[in-house]
Amino acid sequence: MTKKRETESFLPLTPAMFHILLALADGEKHGYAILKEVARRTGDKVRLSAGTLYGNLARLESEGLIAESDHRPEVVLDDERRRYYLLTEFGREVAVAEAERMEEALGQARAKKLFRKPKLA
Amino acid sequence: MGKEALPFSQRLFRALVRVLPFDFRTNYEGEMEGVFREQQREVEERGGPLGALKLWKETITGIFTTAPREHWQILTSDCSYAFRMMGKNRGFTAVAILTLALGIGANTAIFSVVHSVLLRPLPYPQGQQLIFIRQQETKLGIPDLSFSVKEIEDYRAQNRTLSGLVEYHAMSFTLFGHGDPERVRTGVVSANYFDLFGIQPLLGRTFLPDDEKLGAPPVLLLSYEYWKDNFGSDPGIVGKTFEMNDKVHTVVGVLPPVPQYPNENDVYMATSACPYRSNKMHLEDRDMRMMEVFGRLKPGVTVSQANADVSTIAAGLKATYPKSYPENVGFTSAVSPLQEELTHGARPTLLLLLGAAAFVLLIACANVANLTLARMARRERELAVRSALGAGRSRILRQLLTESFLLAIVGGILGLMLAYGSLELLTDFVGRLTPRAREIQVDSGVLLFTLAAALGTSIVFGTLSALFSRANLTSSLKEGSSGAGSGYQQGRVRSALIVCQIAFSFMLLIGAGLMMRSLFKMQQVDAGIVPQRVLAMRIAFNWSKYNSADKTRVVIQKLLDRVKSEPGVLSAAISSRYPFEPEMITGGPESVSFSFQIEGQHLEPGQAPPVSTYAAVSPGYFETLGIPLKAGRMLADTDSDDLKAPQVVLMNEEAKRRFWPNDDPLGKRVSGDGGEHWATIVGIVGDVREFGLDHAPSPEFYGPQAQGPQPGNLVVRTAVQPQSMAQALTRAIHEVDSQTAVTHILTLEQARYESMASPRVTASLLGIFAALALVIATAGIGGIMALMVSQRVREIGIRIALGARPSSILQMVLGQGMLLAVVGVGIGIAGAVALTGLVKSLLFEVPPTDVLTFGGVGLTLLAAAALASYLPARRAAAVDPNVALRTD
C-alpha cells in the first residue's frame, strides 16, 4: 500500500522521464545511447538535449528510479568518461504504473470515440 | 606539452553549462560535453546549417530550463535541512535570532528615520528645485532676517533664476461661526504659494491672483487635518463662510494631506486678508520685516547660480537704500535647498545614531559569527561525514550560507517588527529636530535596507564560519574527535571577534557616556531663575479688537489685575517671551535680536553696531520668575506710556560686561530706532539662560510692556501646584475678554525639562544601543570562555592531576578572558579618540576625551568581562580529574 502510494506519487511522469525509463527498460545504456534510442523510437519527435537529458537523469537517479551501473563493456568498447545507467526495480514499477495510467486514459478516450484507429502502414 | 585549444563551440558549451549548480556540473559536465560532441558530429555528417542551429537552440533551451529547477531543488533541500538543524539547536537558534533581530531592528528603525528625513526627496513635484531664501546681517550675527513686503517685491521683480517666489508668515486668528470662537493657526501666503509647491487641492481650488489683491473678498483654504478633525471631512465645506478679523471669509478649498512647511496650520489665507500684512505700514515700510520667502529654481538652474543672483539683488538694495541696509551690518542674502533647510538641525544627531546602530549590528554580527564558529566545532564531524559522502566544498559552503541566511531573515523580520513598534517614539523624538518627522514611515526603501542588512549580515557571519571550519573538515574525521581538533586558528578568529565586539562596545559606551555626562552637566546649570511653581501660558488677543497700542495696554492691565486677584496667585506678568519657551529654544537668540545705538558712542565706518536680544515685560516679571536685581531699580508701574514718563530699559549683567565693561551703565541711554527714541538704563538684573541651558546668557534688554506692548505670554507664580491653577486662570482671562485664546499652558519646570528633550533622547537612544552592545559583548565573552573550558576539560583535568591548584586554574581562565577584554578596551580607546569629532558638537561642557567617562566605561566593561569569565573559570576550577581524564 505504501509502496503503491510511493509509486503513484511520481505519476504522471513527464514525457522526457518516461522515454528515458523506456530506453533503459531493455538494458543499461550511457547518456548518448539513451538520447539516440529515444529519438529513434519516437521518429525524432522527442529530441532530448544534453541539459534536459542530464537534468532528468539526475532527478531519476536521486529518486532511485535509475542507478549507475558498475558493469562496464569490454575494454576495447569502453569510453571511461561515459557512465552507464540501469533501470532499478522501483523505476520499472513506476514505468509500468505510468504505462497503465496511459492505457487507462486511452481506454477512456476510445470509449468516448476520441480515438482514431491507426492507419496500417 | 601544450594543451590543444578547444573548438569555439565546445568553449561556448562549457560557458553555458556554468549556469548549472556546481555539484551538478561536477557530476555530469564531462558526460554532457561528450553527448554534445556526439550530437555535433551527427549534425555535421548530415550537413546543413539548419541542423546546427536547431541543435544549439535545443541545447540552450535545455540548459536554461534545467538550471533553475536544479538550483531550486538545492535551495529547498538546504532550507529544510537548515530548519531541522535550527530545531535541533534551539538555544543557539534563539540567541542568534534575537541578537540579529536587535542589531537589524536598531538599524532598520534609525534608517527609516534617515531615509524619510534626509534621503527621500521632498514630497512635492521636483522638490529638489524648491529653495529657501534668507536675508542676513552677518556682522550682527543674524543669519536669518525676515523679509518686508517691499523687499519681496524687489526680489520677485529682479531675480533671473527663479520660476516663482512666494511668501509665508503664520499668525493666530479667532474664527467665528463654528461653535465657540476658536483660535486657528493661520498661514498667510502668496496666491501662487500652493502652485509653487505643486499642491493640488482635495476639494475646491487654491488661491487665485485676484484673491491677493487689496480689498478682495477674503477666502480660506482648510488644511486636511483641520477639515477632518473639526468638520468631520464634510464634503460640502466649500462655499461655507466664517468670520475672522471682522470680515466674512469664504472657504474655497481643502488641502490634501501633505506635510506643511515650515509650520503646520489649520487654515491658509491670502496676503490681502491678513490685517497686519495689508496695513499701510507693512506695505510701505521696507524695514517692517515678518515674512519668510520660498522659491522654485528655473529648470537647469543650480543653487549656486541662484545664490549669486539673490546676492546681486541684495547688493543692489544696499546701494539704493543705504538707510535700510547700513554698511556696518553686513547685509546680504543667500539661498539654500528647502530640503537642507528643513533637515540641517537633525542631520548630525541622526547620522550619529545611524553610526551607533551600525556598530550594534557589527557587534551582533561578530557575536553570531562566534556562536556559529562554536557550533561548527561541534558540527565538524557531521560536515566531515557529508564531505566524505561526496558533498563538495562549495556545496557545504552553500548549505552553511543558507543556514546563516535563514537565521538572518528570521532575525530581520523580528527586527522589522521591533523597528515598526518604535516608530511612534522615534517620530516624536525627531519631531523636535525637523518638521519632516511626520513623513517617517517604513516603506519599500526601508524594507530593501532590512533585506540588504540581513543578507549582508548572513554573508559576513556565514562565510566567516564556513571558511574557518572548512580547513578542519578532513582532519576531524581522521582524528575521530568531537571537535577538539577545531584548531588553534579557529580559536584565534574567535578571540579576534571578541576583541572587536569589546572595542565597538567601548566606543558606543563612550558615546552614550559622554552624552549622559553632558546632560547631567546641563541639568546642574543655574538658569538664573527660580522655575518652581511658575505657570506660563500663551495668550492671543483678538487682533481686530485690540488694533492699537492704547487698547492693548488697557486690556493687558485689566487682565493682570484680574489674574492677580485670583486666590493662589503670588505674582503675575505679561511678557513677549519667557525662559525656555519652546519657540525660543528652536529659534535661538538670533530670532529676537536687534541692533542698537549707545548714546555718545561713535562707530567707525563699517564697524558693526552692538546687538542684543529684547523682551517686553510688565513690572512683575522679574519677581515672578525670581530674577534678582543686581543694580539700580526694577521696572515700575510709573514706567508708563505717559508722555512725561521717560522711556526706560533694564539689562542683564552680560550686557553690562559686553557693552560697558568698565563703566556704570545706569543712566546711560540707548536707541533701537536710529536715534528717534532713547531709553534710559535704570537697572541691571541677573543673567538668565533664556534659550536653553546649553546657551550661555546673551546680552539682554527688558523694556516695559506699557511703553511698547508686545503681549504674548502670561507668567504666574503660584502658592500651590501651578498646573492646578490652569483652569481658574483661563477662566479669569476669559472673564476679561472671552475672545482671548489661551494655549500652550505649561509650567516653567516642564519648559525647562522639554528644552533638554533633544540631548536627552539622543543620550537615551545611544544609551540603549550601548547597553545592547554591552550585553551582547559580555555574553560573547562568557560564551567563548565556556566553550574553551568545555573543550579543554581533559587538559585542565591533567593539570589538576599533576598538582595544579583550583585557584590557579581559576586565575588562568579568568586571565585569558581579561586579556581579551583589555586588548578590546585598548583598541576601543584608540577608536573612541579617533571618532570624538562626531560627538563634539553635541556635547555640553564635557571634553570629547573626558577622562572620567573613559575611565568609568573602561572599568564597567572590564568588570562585565570579569563577571562573564568568572562563571566558566569557576567551572574549570571545579573539574574532577578522574572524570575529565575518562572523557573522550
- Tens of pLDDT, residue by residue over B758-812, are 888 888 888 988 998 888 888 888 887 887 887 788 888 888 888 888 888 889 8
B450-462: average pLDDT? 83
pLDDT band at B56 (very low <50, low <70, confident <90, very high): very high
Q: Of B643, B612, B632, give the one whose Cα is nearest residue B680.
A: B632
- Residue B206: pLDDT band by 50, 70, 90 thresholds? very high
Q: Is A50 on the interface with B (CB under 8 A)?
A: yes
Instruction: Please give the mean pLDDT across all residues of chain A.
Output: 86
Residue B485 pLDDT greater than 50, yes or no: no
Residue B479 confidence (pLDDT) above 50: no
Give the distance from residue B475's alpha carbon to the nearest chain A alpha carbon, in angstroms: 29
Residue-wise pLDDT for B263-316, tens only, equals: 889 999 999 999 888 888 889 999 889 899 999 999 999 999 999 999 999 999
Would the CB atoms of B70 and A55 count as touching at under 8 Å? yes
Of B58, B67, B69, the CB nearest to A49: B58
What's the whole-number mean pLDDT along residues B338-344?
A: 88
The ipTM estimated for the assembled molecules is: 0.88
- Tell me if chain A has a CB within 8 Å of the CB of B63: yes
What pLDDT, on the 0 to 100 scale, is given for residue B481? 45
Q: Mean pLDDT, to the nearest integer, of B689-695?
A: 91
Instruction: Say yes or no: A54 contacts chain B, CB-CB below 8 A.
Output: yes
pLDDT at A25: 93
- pLDDT of A13 > 60? The answer is yes
- Contact criterion met (CB < 8 Å) for A51 and B24: no
Answer yes or no: are the C-beta atoms of B553 and B538 closer than 8 Å. Answer: no
d(CA B571, CA B619): 10
Which helix (H) or strand (E) element contains residue B574? strand B569-575
Query: How confident is the model over B624-658, as pLDDT tens digits?
Result: 999 999 999 999 988 887 767 889 999 999 999 99
Lowest mean pLDDT among A111-115, B330-334, B357-361, B597-601: A111-115
The pLDDT-based confidence of A3 (bands split at 50, 70, 90) is low
The predicted pLDDT at position B1 comes to 42
Cβ-defined contact of B31 to A58 (cutoff 8 Å):
no
A38 touches chain B (CB under 8 A): no
B411: pLDDT strictly greater than 80: yes
B340 has a chain A CB within 8 A of its CB? no
Note whether B147 and B292 are within 8 A (CB). Answer: yes
Question: pLDDT tens, B739-769?
Answer: 888 888 999 999 999 888 888 888 888 898 8
Percentage of chain B surpassing pLDDT 70? 95
Q: What is the pLDDT of residue B459?
A: 81
Rg over CA atoms, chain B = 37
**Residue count of chain B:** 888
Question: How much is the pLDDT for B364?
Answer: 87
Q: Quick check: B170 and B315 in contact, CB under 8 A? A: no
What mean pLDDT value characterizes chain B? 88
- Among candidates B645, B626, B537, which has minimal Cα distance to B582? B537
Closest listed residue to residue B817, CA positions, set B888, B882, B752, B874:
B874
pLDDT in tens, B504-520: 999 999 999 999 999 99
Distance CA B742, CA A24 (A): 94
Residues B498, B782: Cα–Cα separation, whole Å: 10
Q: Give yes or no for A47 touching B (CB within 8 A).
A: yes
Does A99 touch chain B if contact means CB atoms closer than 8 Å?
no
Q: Tell me what pLDDT residue B231 has.
A: 92
Q: How far is CA B612 from the centre of its chain?
A: 31
The pLDDT assigned to A121 comes to 46
- Give residue-wise pLDDT tens across range B149-159: 999 999 999 99
Say if the Cβ atoms of A52 and B70 lie within 8 Å.
no
Query: Which range, A14-18, B382-386, B541-545, B809-813, is most confident?
Result: A14-18
The rounded distance, in Å, linking the Cα atoms of B457 and B101 is: 11
Phi-psi region of B691 (alpha: psi -120 to 50; beta: other; left: phi over 0): alpha
Binding-face residues of A in 67-96 toward B, CB within 8 A: 79, 81-83
Task: Tell me which residue in A50, A79, A82 faces B36 most closely, judged by beta carbons.
Answer: A50
Whether pLDDT at B527 is above 90: yes
Residues of A with Cβ-Cβ distance to B50 under 8 angstroms: none
- Report H helices in B525-620: 549-564, 582-587
Answer positive or negative: Cα dihedral of B372, B374, B375, B378. Answer: positive
Grid coordinates representing B531 are 522655575
Interchain contact A48–B (C-beta under 8 A)? yes
Over residues B402-425, mean pLDDT? 90
The whole-number pLDDT of residue B267 equals 95
Which residues of B are less than 8 Å from A31 in CB distance?
Answer: 31-32, 34-35
Residues of B in contact with A80 (CB under 8 A): none
How many Å lie between the alpha carbon of B6 and the closest alpha carbon of chain A? 17
3-state secondary structure of B361: helix
Model confidence at B483: pLDDT above 50: no
Contacts of A32 in chain B (CB under 8 A): 34-35, 38-39
Residue B750's pLDDT is 93
Q: Is the pTM of this model over 0.80?
A: no
What's the CA dihedral at B775, B778, B784, B790 to 10 degrees?
-100
User: CB of B102 within 8 A of CB of B360?
Assistant: yes
